[in-house]
Structure 1
Amino acid sequence: MATVFSSSLLVDQKRRLVEVFPDSVRIQWNKWELRGLVVVSLVLQISLIFSGNRRKYIAKRRIRIFIWCAYLLADWIATVALGLLVDRLGNSVYSGSSSGNGNRKNVYGDLQLMAFWAPFLLLHLGGPDTITAYALADNELWLRHLLGLVVQTAAAVYITLLAWEDTLLSFLAIPMLLCGIIKYGERTWVLMSANREQFRDSVLADRDPGPSYAKFMEEFCLKEAEGYHVTAGQVEEGNSPGEDVENAIAISNRDGLILHMADYFFETLKFKRLFVDLILGFYPRDVSQSFFGKQDYDTAFEVIEVELGFAYDVFYTKAIIIHTPFGLFFRLITSFITLSVLLTFVSLRSDSHLYIDVMITYILLIGAILLEAYAAVSLVFSDWANLWFSQHASKIPLLSHLVSPIQSTQKGKRWSNSMYQYTLLDFCLNQKSSTFREISRFIPIHKRLENLWEKWESFLQLEHLDISPELKSFIFDHFKEKSVDTELELKNLFTCRGAVSLQAHKSYGMFKWTVDVEFDHSILIWHIATDLCYNMDKSKRDKDSTGKEIKPEWDDHMTYSKQLADYILYILVMCPFMLPIGIGMIRFRDTCAEALVFFEERSSVSKPEAYEMLGQVSTKVFPAKVKGDRSKSVLFEACKLAALLNEMSDTGKMWKMVGDVWVEILGYAASQCRGFDHAQQLEKGGELLTHVWLLMAHLGITEHFKIEEGHGRVKLAVT
């Protein structure tokens, strides 16, 4: 964050730049510059409070770009405006310009009233409740914000003292300064609390030395010396996981149950530790498995949605402070002060001040109140408040009538419920006819520019797809079956990436070579093969008498396979940090290069014909033997896999196997991604990969459980 001193430098540099304009333009610029910055600062705050929380359930890039611009500009404009106030008040004092009635006025306007805007700029630097950090990296920079808090507060106090006069307006600046300090202090505190190191420390359990070993052995030896036969035995203690859940959660309606269970897992059982890669004990695992093992896919995914919503609020908003008694107290204080200042300002005589400055002051005061009101409404309609209403609805009858409308309003707005789709062969076919490629053949273009253009074309290639309930059910049933399969070792549950499904379908020997390679290698092979098989089988659909396509029984599994294949490739290309370290981008680029060569040699064919020709290429000789290690392309290895899949006699069983392989690949990718990287994707509308990661953890399919811990304490047995 820029400081006031750097802002003053910017002001000086800007003044030197505007000297190229006529005097009349410079005079008008100086007259309206500060006023414009203050109004724009308020507009940005309003934009952020309305849109900041919406990125949690909207995955469109345009809203992220808008919020990114508003988030960066908000701090910069408020800081520059404070710098201008310091500069103008300082010049006014040193030049001794003041009118006889005590109001400082010059070419810039009414400086005493403008000085009253400084607390509002400090208020704006505190930011809205719905967004404190644009990305997790902002939380890591909390010390910079702390320094900014000190410097900007000092600047606001300095401005107030420079403009101080024995008037009510000067005294009104003091409570508004208090509001600004509270808001900016809240933001700094939240950023510090959401910092990775601080968050990790906050979720660690209290130090537990355990039973006193020395005292136990002293008693053991004493009894043994007395002639007794002494043994150490385990004593079971505590309720079973099922009983504990039923006793803790006694909610009549389904929405209340989902909220309570999400809070129970996230806060009580500390599943939030997963976001900083900490280990959980055996008890949370048993409780979670007991609950999720009895639920349908819809309830399971809704609980996970609420949990991830809690995580988003913790990392990106002021939720961890505003949903506490101190936070509510601060909200009441700031709201009461702002409203009182507005009412007092209305009673002041305004004829001694410039009309435009008075109107801007009214706008700032009313805007501050509206921001507080919107924050209060958002607080009431949040899952945190909804949870509190559900807990106290039985004690306060009036709340029972409020719970249902609030829950129905919130339902369906916790994440985007969508995923991006990216197809390698479609990308290559579109790139083949790209105007940029045609130009680059004749005009040498820098490699960086070419890479940027390819990235842009990749963005244009992306498609957005809503996740169907059927796909969620397919994924949930797959992992639920795995979690109760006693023949599978725990390690195989989250480290397999297709082998278990191939073994279950008795096809491991035929397709072993596709899953025993590096992970990104396997993804590309299965992606292209799935795409080829999908287009071939889709073109073979029969039609009824009306010309409408008749969907075969295996159509659902074919659709699931295609959607997951395109989604995982999107993760590989656009979010490679979520996958294990590898040379995925090298393989992807080399494969695209080979596909482009193949398609350009057949430039006159249509897309279906291109797919058909690619599928007809003979792969009797393994492609790696022909190509060697120079190119990392896997195009024709994928063609070989597609040919083997098409040779399977039962198309339905083939697609069921391919679908299971893709769910395993999805699960492996989810489990290998660090919790911090999953949290990073929450501000982009959420990823299906993150929901699968948390689902697997709840079903016990993760390495984050310490399962060796005993269920009871040791007790002496004397005979």
Structure 2
Amino acid sequence: MTLPDHRVLFQVVPDDVKHMWNEWALRALILISLASQITLILLGNVRKYNPRTRVRMALWFAYIMALAVASAALGVITRTALDVCTDSHTLSQVHKMSTSELMSFWAPFLLLHLGGPDAITAFALEDNELSLRQFMEIIFQSGVALYILLLSWPGCSDLPQLSIPVYVAGFIKCAERIRALRLANTENLRDSMLGPPDPGPNYHKFLEDLQLKKSQGFNVKVEEVPETPLPANDHSYPAEGKEISEAYNLFQTFKRLFVDLILTFEDRDGSQSYFRHLKSDDAFRVVEIELGFAFDMLYTKANVVYTFTGLFLRLLSIIFLLMVPVGFYYVCDMDDYHFIDVVITYLLTGTTMFMEIIAVVTMLRSDWTDLWLSQRNLTRKILIFPFFKKVTKKRWSGSIAQFDLLSVALEEKPASFLKIQTLVGIDDIRVKHRYKTYSKVSEDLKNLIYSQFLEFMVLNSDPKALCTHKGSFSLRKNECDALLWSITKVEFDQSILIWHIATTLCFSEKDNQDGTDNDVCRRESKHISDYLLYLLVSYPVMLPIGIGMIRYRDTCAEATRFFNEKGFITEKSEACRKLVEVDSLEVLPSKVKGDRCKSVLFDGCRLALTLKKMKRERMWRVMSQVWIEILAYASTHCRGFHHEQQLRKGGEFLTHVWLLMAHLGITEQFQVSQGHARARINVL
């Protein structure tokens, strides 16, 4: 008696599920791959100016799925093609061969998907660093697609021949992606910007000539000859259509900042002569254009596509892809295939053409097209379609995130499902997102920052001095030496928290002076204050090293305890009033609390009480200048790598301030102060 096999009795996966998987797995993978490609091409450029987390999450999911699903689908197609090759050619098998050929026809489209759209090659900078790994993966998948093509050759239809142009176009796409990733790699970027080595004047030969003169009995003297200065290049405001060209030329020089290379005095002088003619709005727009070029360089195929070779290959691939839907319609007999497979095939070809159309439209509307036209003294008026002639482009979010410490301490936005969030360990992350808001970067804020930078350059012979000040220059200039303790005697993250609390307490009192300079300083001081606290909490790597997160948590805890002891305060205005009532000037908080607790809550109250003794106009003018100085210090002490990282998240205003300061010569990366020393031998 034969006992039943226990593997049959206890199947984990039923036969019906297996059959459905074999029947629909590939079709489902193709549809998922199509959805991923559509998401990538639609959101790839959106992240450039949209800082919302949901955009990044959708893009991240599509980016990961696009690579994984395309690889899995190629594996399924390979197995199907091999199964058909090994079976006998019965009548039913002929139908299977037709279906297999159609599925094999999908393989080069998956190669196109692996190449990805122009709008995104790297989700993060780390993807550029792993370009060699992605090169090996794509080479392997290209080999698999070629193997599938050979397995289906010659076939019972013309589909294998029709696969060749798609395969060539897919290979071009993959080559573009690998090339773009490789060029954006930090090491390659740095090498491309180094230029030829400079050995300088020949010191050894000079000494030989000097000794020769002395041996001949001449009385010689060595004199230093000043180097002939370069002719002044007094820029004027760029003519119509030339702003993009000027910004690109500046970017070609100042992109070295992103890889921590130094700049020369010629770079500084040329940039300063250009920017001193600009208004604040124009200066920030030039910086905005430059950072747009930086985003394209790091995260898209711009470095590859916007070249003569790149444009030629793009035209070639478009011609090849246009042949496919026409050939499929006229050459193939639809009755040989399942209806759903024919629909998927048309979806593949249609999506491919849609992606190419979107890529061409994006290319024609980009700053790169403006640059090309500008270099040839042309304008967009030569373009045919109206929506290409005057393009409004978004290059970054134009906003700054806001985070208020007292709002968190008061729990103004209580969390839902708190226990669930705590169990999965995302409660701290959710707090940051729940209390984060956005504020538009106003023209008033740009004017305040730009005018203060220009004033500093007038008052100081060395503009780089601003890189070392954290607010002390403004306090001394305004004769507020009594407040220097909040800047010079504390760490940088500590001063941000102290001044943030003081700004919030002073801001809670309404001045009722809308439209005045006082109101502008008041409003923008609060915006910078909340923005820097947001950076301290969410992106501390962009600020100088410190224990800011510990101080923030301790300060929040002390504020929450204080409000609870005062009768569970919920209104911010009332909370500010209660804090101001605490006389923190009589005894220093550090004498009572010691050093274990890092809270600075009552240090901020102490600063606020001192500030409130000033006249309102003077108080807000001082506070705005101190905050701009703190912002400048933070921007110059953030490495270029971290500025690069933020470009994919809508851009940080800190990065715009950093690059603007560099253009004005306010950076420590100008370390070549003069040219070569020239010496000559004079015979006396």
TM bucket (normalised to shorter chain) is over 0.9
Q: Distance in 1 between matches of 2:270 and 2:158?
A: 61
2:657 to 672, 692, 697: 692
Match status 1:170 vs 2:160:
yes
Kindly indicate whether the alpha-carbon contact (under 8 Å) linking 1:230 and 1:718 is maintained by their aligned counterparts in 2.
Answer: yes
- CA deviation digits over 1:583-606, x for unaligned, max 9? 101000000000010111123443
In structure 2, relative to structure 1, the CA distance for the partners of 1:703 and 1:123 (3 Å cut) is same
In the other structure, the counterpart of 1:473 is 447
Deviates more, 1:114-123 or 1:189-198: 189-198
In the other structure, the counterpart of 1:383 is 367
In the other structure, the counterpart of 1:639 is 605
In the other structure, the counterpart of 1:710 is 675
- CA deviation digits over 1:606-642, x for unaligned, max 9? 3322210111001110001100112110001111011
- CA deviation digits over 1:496-545, x for unaligned, max 9? 10100100111123433444211111110000010001102x2x53xxxx
In the other structure, the counterpart of 1:308 is 291
Match status 1:409 vs 2:391:
yes
Kindly indicate whether the alpha-carbon contact (under 8 Å) linking 2:399 and 2:653 is maintained by their aligned counterparts in 1.
Answer: yes
In structure 2, relative to structure 1, the CA distance for the partners of 1:35 and 1:643 (3 Å cut) is same
Kindly indicate whether the alpha-carbon contact (under 8 Å) linking 1:514 and 1:525 is maintained by their aligned counterparts in 2.
Answer: no
Report the AA paired with residue 234 of structure 1.
V
Name the SS of the counterpart of 1:640 in structure 2.
Answer: helix
Name the SS of the counterpart of 1:242 in structure 2.
Answer: coil
Name the SS of the counterpart of 2:549 in structure 1.
Answer: helix
- CA displacement at 1:342 relative to structure 2: 2.8
Report the AA paired with residue 302 of structure 2.
A
Match status 1:582 vs 2:546:
yes
In the other structure, the counterpart of 1:89 is 81
Q: Distance in 2 between matches of 1:370 and 1:113?
A: 21
Match status 1:429 vs 2:419:
no
Name the SS of the counterpart of 1:92 in structure 2.
Answer: helix
- CA deviation digits over 1:622-677, x for unaligned, max 9? 001100112110001111011111112x1111110011000011001101100010
In the other structure, the counterpart of 2:354 is 370
In the other structure, the counterpart of 1:105 is 96
- CA displacement at 1:165 relative to structure 2: 2.1
Kindly indicate whether the alpha-carbon contact (under 8 Å) linking 1:241 and 1:283 is maintained by their aligned counterparts in 2.
Answer: no
Kindly indicate whether the alpha-carbon contact (under 8 Å) linking 2:486 and 2:607 is maintained by their aligned counterparts in 1.
Answer: no
Matches within 5 A, 1:42-191: 42-94=34-86, 96-99=87-90, 103=94, 105=96, 110-166=99-155, 167-191=157-181
- CA displacement at 1:141 relative to structure 2: 1.2
Kindly indicate whether the alpha-carbon contact (under 8 Å) linking 1:57 and 1:416 is maintained by their aligned counterparts in 2.
Answer: yes
1:621 to 587, 594, 604: 587
Q: Distance in 2 between matches of 1:317 and 1:716?
A: 55
Report the AA paired with residue 575 of structure 1.
Y
In the other structure, the counterpart of 1:603 is 567
Kindly indicate whether the alpha-carbon contact (under 8 Å) linking 1:235 and 1:715 is maintained by their aligned counterparts in 2.
Answer: no
- CA displacement at 1:30 relative to structure 2: 2.4
- CA displacement at 1:28 relative to structure 2: 3.4
Name the SS of the counterpart of 2:401 in structure 1.
Answer: strand
Report the AA paired with residue 354 of structure 2.
L
Name the SS of the counterpart of 2:439 in structure 1.
Answer: strand
Matches within 5 A, 1:473-512: 473-486=447-460, 489-512=462-485
In the other structure, the counterpart of 1:12 is none
In structure 2, relative to structure 1, the CA distance for the partners of 1:346 and 1:553 (3 Å cut) is closer
TM normalised by structure 1 equals 0.88
Kindly indicate whether the alpha-carbon contact (under 8 Å) linking 2:552 and 2:599 is maintained by their aligned counterparts in 1.
Answer: yes
Q: Distance in 2 between matches of 1:39 and 1:263?
A: 40
In structure 2, relative to structure 1, the CA distance for the partners of 1:408 and 1:666 (3 Å cut) is farther
Report the AA paired with residue 246 of structure 2.
M
- CA displacement at 1:45 relative to structure 2: 1.1
Name the SS of the counterpart of 2:582 in structure 1.
Answer: coil
Name the SS of the counterpart of 1:288 in structure 2.
Answer: helix
- Structure 2 residue runs of 5 or longer lacking an equivalent are 1-7
Report the AA paired with residue 200 of structure 2.
G
- CA deviation digits over 1:676-706, x for unaligned, max 9? 1000000010011000000110111111012
In structure 2, relative to structure 1, the CA distance for the partners of 1:113 and 1:241 (3 Å cut) is farther
- CA deviation digits over 1:266-321, x for unaligned, max 9? 11xx2101001111111101111111122110111011001000000010000000
Q: Distance in 1 between matches of 2:102 and 2:416?
A: 57
In the other structure, the counterpart of 1:525 is 498
In structure 2, relative to structure 1, the CA distance for the partners of 1:714 and 1:299 (3 Å cut) is farther
Deviates more, 1:663-672 or 1:68-77: 68-77
Match status 1:672 vs 2:637:
yes
Between the aligned residues of both structures, percent identity stands at 44
Name the SS of the counterpart of 1:416 in structure 2.
Answer: coil
Name the SS of the counterpart of 2:508 in structure 1.
Answer: helix
- CA displacement at 1:405 relative to structure 2: 6.6
- CA deviation digits over 1:306-353, x for unaligned, max 9? 100000001000000001111111101111111123332222131333
Report the AA paired with residue 528 of structure 1.
I
Q: Distance in 2 between matches of 1:346 and 1:450?
A: 52
Report the AA paired with residue 257 of structure 1.
K
Q: Distance in 1 between matches of 2:313 and 2:507?
A: 58
In the other structure, the counterpart of 1:324 is 307
Report the AA paired with residue 473 of structure 1.
N
Q: CA RMSD in A?
A: 2.7
Report the AA paired with residue 122 of structure 1.
L
Report the AA paired with residue 550 of structure 2.
I
Q: Distance in 2 between matches of 1:20 and 1:635?
A: 60
Kindly indicate whether the alpha-carbon contact (under 8 Å) linking 2:158 and 2:332 is maintained by their aligned counterparts in 1.
Answer: no
Report the AA paired with residue 608 of structure 2.
A
- CA deviation digits over 1:61-92, x for unaligned, max 9? 22111111111111111111111112222223
Q: Distance in 2 between matches of 1:390 and 1:595?
A: 57
In structure 2, relative to structure 1, the CA distance for the partners of 1:450 and 1:524 (3 Å cut) is farther
- CA displacement at 1:143 relative to structure 2: 1.6
2:330 to 347, 352, 355: 347
In structure 2, relative to structure 1, the CA distance for the partners of 1:48 and 1:112 (3 Å cut) is same
In structure 2, relative to structure 1, the CA distance for the partners of 1:433 and 1:193 (3 Å cut) is closer
TM normalised by structure 2 equals 0.92
Kindly indicate whether the alpha-carbon contact (under 8 Å) linking 1:392 and 1:399 is maintained by their aligned counterparts in 2.
Answer: no
In the other structure, the counterpart of 2:244 is 259
Q: Distance in 1 between matches of 2:293 and 2:130?
A: 22
Q: Distance in 1 between matches of 2:51 and 2:306?
A: 26
Deviates more, 1:31-40 or 1:124-133: 31-40
In structure 2, relative to structure 1, the CA distance for the partners of 1:653 and 1:79 (3 Å cut) is same
Kindly indicate whether the alpha-carbon contact (under 8 Å) linking 2:238 and 2:246 is maintained by their aligned counterparts in 1.
Answer: no
Q: Distance in 2 between matches of 1:390 and 1:358?
A: 46
Report the AA paired with residue 242 of structure 2.
L
Name the SS of the counterpart of 1:430 in structure 2.
Answer: coil
Give the number of equivalent residue pairs: 671
In the other structure, the counterpart of 1:570 is 534
Deviates more, 1:576-585 or 1:203-212: 203-212
